[in-house]
Amino acid sequence: MKILVINAGSSSLKYQLYDMSNESVLAKGRVERIGMDSSILVHQPKNGEEVSQVSEILEHTTAIRKVLKILTHKEHGVIESTQEIEAVGHRVVHGGESFKGSVVVDQEVKTKIRRLFALAPLHNPAAMLGIEAAEKNMPGVPQVVVFDTAFHQTMSEKAYLYPIPKVLYKKHHVRRYGAHGTSHEYVSRIAADFLKRPVEELKMITCHIGNGASLAAIQNGISVDTSMGLTPLEGLMMGTRSGDIDPAIVPYVMNKEELTINEVDSMLNKHSGLLAISGISSDMREITEGMIAGYPNATLAFEMYEYRLRKYIGSYAAAMNGVDVIVFTAGVGENSIILRERVLTNLTYLGVELDKEANSVISGEPRRISAPNSKVEVLVVPTNEELVIARDTHRLVQNLIRNV
Ligand code: ADP
């Protein structure tokens, strides 16, 4: 079965075409600047050269039409006909309390996703554009939605409620939902397989650290806590996001600086984190280079980032009364040798012993970076959110076929 995985943003759309017979990626690419002048489609076939095409793409329906066209292109294509695509899987950021797992799209599912627009105003409407565009271009082809929040729906009330008036939860669904659920679930399963131990017997802390960053505490295979909240702003310090701050800063700064709600929201989401402290970049590579070059603000940004991450790991070990496995994943987690080293050499009280040599290896495979005598296993596991979407889509569509 061939499955198209789509991750739609408001002005962009990423895609991967999977052959599920061997879970290989036949082609991947992205459309950028949808709705702007000179939109660009970048397409990478499995065994071919990357191609880019600049044209006017005013909306998502056209974007998907162009993607289908290039997937079937004589020279750059990887399939003969779009009929070969038997299902489409979509990434949706917010599933609220309505979705505890992936589902096949129908009218009711679309209505529920629309009701959640208010909780993810930037992301969910964009995902809906992607779903409707795929439906228009591929009528009758089953569509599946996979939610970033679903894995964390197992959190208990004590973990997901905020200590604020409960009416806000009842009326406006204000609670913690988390994000990166597909990644946390995926790397926890790969880690358990790697260790040849049942995930149900392990206390794990998974650290998904990329541009956005979150931690999950996973006990008996389910998420018991995670660092992102109502929105992906809570928790760790990130590239451009503040993470946890005193909420009283918001009214105080709004008052002092005469900021609007949108301005303060933009300050915390787009102009904070590594970028704000370093003054140079939100990218961990540039922060690390700045630190090595002796730039004090880059050093401070790195130290704050590491300190806040380490405190979260400690708090999740406390939440679970121990930790058996720590997993690092995503851009920073998979690649920053120095960040992992700084974090792990300060977790000796938990029984973490780092294998410095193993930590320095660069590889795209799951690997152990803790020493043989370490009480806590520490692994680096490359994440693959698209594969999770493809697998869930495959499973649900096969059930659909069986039940017809
Ligand atoms: P996203 O959250 O957008 O999916 P990624 O998981 O791709 O992000 O992570 C992107 C981040 O990974 C970049 O901001 C960069 O700082 C970081 N990164 C990538 N390679 C390295 C590296 N070699 N060393 C340190 N950081 C890296």
pLDDT surpasses 80 at 404: no
* Global pTM value: 0.94
**Does the residue 171 lie in any domain?**
no
Question: Residue 1 to residues 4, 45, 48, 336, 337: CA-CA distances in angstroms?
Answer: 10, 18, 22, 36, 38
Write the single-letter amino acid at 311: K
Q: Is residue 164 part of a domain?
A: no
328 lies in some domain: yes
Residues 224 and 368 in one domain: yes
Give yes or no: residues 266 and 365 share one domain.
Answer: yes
- Domain identity same for 214 and 134: no
pLDDT per residue as tens digits for the range 114-130: 999 988 887 899 999 99
Residue 153 within any structural domain of the chain: no
Q: Is residue 275, in this structure, part of any structural domain at all?
A: yes
User: So what's the pLDDT on residue 1?
Assistant: 94
Q: Is the CB of 182 under 6 A from ligand 1?
A: no
Considering the domain architecture, whether residues 255 and 378 belong to the same structural domain is answered as yes
Q: Are residues 106 and 201 in the same domain?
A: no
Into how many domains does the chain fold? Answer: 2
CA neighbor of 312 nearest in space, from 375, 377, 236? 236
CATH of the domain at 19: 3.30.420.40
> Which residue among the candidates 19, 37, 106, 148 is catalytic per the annotation?
148
pLDDT in tens, 70-116: 999 999 999 999 999 999 999 999 999 999 999 999 999 999 999 99
Residue 38's pLDDT is 87
> Is there a single domain that holds both residue 339 and residue 208?
yes
Asked if 233 and 356 sit in the same domain, the reply is: yes
Q: Are residues 235 and 98 in the same domain?
A: no
**Given ligand 1 and candidates 335, 361, 380, 388, which is best to mutate, with the most ligand atoms within 8 Å of its CB?**
335
Quick one: pLDDT band at residue 137, thresholds 50, 70, 90? Answer: very high
Q: What are the pLDDT digits (tens) for 262-308?
A: 999 999 999 999 999 999 999 999 999 999 999 999 999 999 999 99
Residues 134 and 276 in one domain: no
> Cα–chain-centroid distance for residue 14?
14
Atom nearest to 208 CA in ligand 1: 6
In a domain, 179, yes or no: no
- Say if residue 345 is in the same domain as residue 212: yes
pLDDT at 121: 81
Q: Do the domain assignments include residue 80?
A: yes
Domain assignment of residue 36, given as a range? 2-147
Nearest one of 51, 383, 3 to 186, comparing CA atoms: 383
Q: Is 333 in the pocket of ligand 1 (CB under 6 A)?
A: no
Q: Are residues 350 and 228 in the same domain?
A: yes
